[in-house]
Amino acid sequence: MFEVAYETTFCATHTLSEDGRPIEPVHGHDWRVEVVASGDRLDRTGVVVDFEHLRKAVNEVAGRFHYGDLTGHPHFGRPEPVGRGRGSLLLRRGAQGDGCREGGGLRRVRVWEAPGCSATYYE
């Protein structure tokens, strides 16, 4: 199995809520995102996925959130912070929908809301 990864960052705010009530104030993070594509063979040029293609797709998805408020974002369906699980799934689906499948499939997405604090979605 071969893997390639691309990492980027974006700035956004969010809040954590329970039963529709905020349980912490709105605050921001410099979110870090890593997207990993994998495949069991290389293409004619010797890669699983071209880094430039992966970079473009990941940055387009992450750019949707840059300088925004993630709480209540329509892609989340309900107020929930991106770094606690659903965000990594959302970013994975978005990158996949934007053509990140060239040559290899998306393997996992990891999102950090702070150093040492991350959530990963993988299949």
Q: Structural domain boundaries of the chain?
A: 2-122
Separation in Å, CA 75 to CA 38, 42, 57, 89, 109 = 26, 33, 17, 11, 16
Q: What is the mean pLDDT of residues 32-54?
A: 86
What type of residue sits at position 42?
A: L
Predicted structure pTM score:
0.76
| 81 — pLDDT class (breaks 50, 70, 90) | very low
DSSP state at residue 10: E
Q: What's the mean per-residue pLDDT of the chain?
A: 78
> Torsion over CA of 43, 44, 49 and 54, rounded to 10 degrees?
-150
The domain 2-122: what is its CATH number? Answer: 3.30.479.10
